[in-house]
Structure 1
Amino acid sequence: MPTATYAGTEVPVTDEGFFTDPAYWTEQMAPEIARESGIDPLTAEHWKVIEFMRSEYAEKGTGPTVRALGRTSGVSIKDLYRLFPKGPAKLAAKIAGIPKPRGCI
């Protein structure tokens, strides 16, 4: 299984770089994952989405789709694409340290 090192901690990830166990994630890792994905710096808006993604995963066992994220996170779909340009649900999930949401390609 592949691993990645963030904030000095080695974590197991999928071939696409998603955490296999969200329990390994820490807030200190998020800026490194974001930079690796072309987002720097993380703003308060980014953190709102990241925290929402983690909360949804904890509650439902999967991250929300882009539509659900736009409807329920308090951030519009247009803003989601501005914040996470290469696929909001997928990229936000990666930065939030949760598995890739169902339905993301």
Structure 2
Amino acid sequence: MATTEIYRYLAVNDQQVTLDPEGYLVVLGDWTPEVARCLAEEEGITLTDEHWEVIQVLRDFYQRFEQAPAMRPLVKAVARALGEEKGRSIHLMRLFPGSPAKLAARIAGLPKPTHCL
């Protein structure tokens, strides 16, 4: 029996952005800063400069390694790029509550990190 995935759409300006059942972009090329703002708003997050720094680190990581980092590699990448103070789990939890690696990757327009439930 085939499984049917339910996709939903995010209206951003005059564009319909397709999201998978977990809320990740189906087409990574659909990502824009405005899409990020809309995805963040769905989570009750207003993006600040600190959020954008982490989003940029994530997008750079993905470009380099072709995968979104799980929590441990994310902490290390942020510490390397932004300094030890920002590269701490507690800082990332404050910015992206719950599961920072998953939530930040989703807002950054990246696939769900491997090894994240």
Provide the TM-score with structure 1 as the length reference.
Answer: 0.90
Measured against aligned partners, the alpha-carbon deviations of 1:49-70 in whole angstroms (never above 9, x if no partner) come to 1111111112211111111111
The answer for the alignment partner of 2:105 in structure 1 is 93
Larger radius of gyration: 2
Q: What amino acid is aligned across from residue 37 of structure 2 in structure 1?
A: P
The answer for the alignment partner of 2:82 in structure 1 is none
The answer for the alignment partner of 1:19 in structure 2 is 25
- Name which structure has the greater RCO, CA cutoff 8 Å, separation 6+: 1
Calculate the aligned-residue CA RMSD, in Å: 1.4
Q: What amino acid is aligned across from residue 109 of structure 2 in structure 1?
A: G
Contact 1:84/1:92 (CA < 8 Å) preserved in 2?
A: yes
Q: What amino acid is aligned across from residue 56 of structure 1 in structure 2?
A: F
Contact 1:13/1:19 (CA < 8 Å) preserved in 2?
A: yes
- The ranges of structure 1 where at least 4 consecutive aligned residues each deviate by more than 6 angstroms after the TM superposition are none
Contact 1:6/1:33 (CA < 8 Å) preserved in 2?
A: no
Contact 1:3/1:12 (CA < 8 Å) preserved in 2?
A: yes
CA distance in 2, matches of 1:71, 1:61: 17
Query: Bigger CA drift: 90-99 or 10-19?
Result: 10-19
Measured against aligned partners, the alpha-carbon deviations of 1:1-29 in whole angstroms (never above 9, x if no partner) come to 61422423212221111012211100111
- Find the residue that maps to 1:73 and give its secondary structure: helix
Q: What amino acid is aligned across from residue 49 of structure 1 in structure 2?
A: V
Structure 2 unaligned regions, length at least 5: 1-5, 80-85
Q: What amino acid is aligned across from residue 43 of structure 1 in structure 2?
A: T
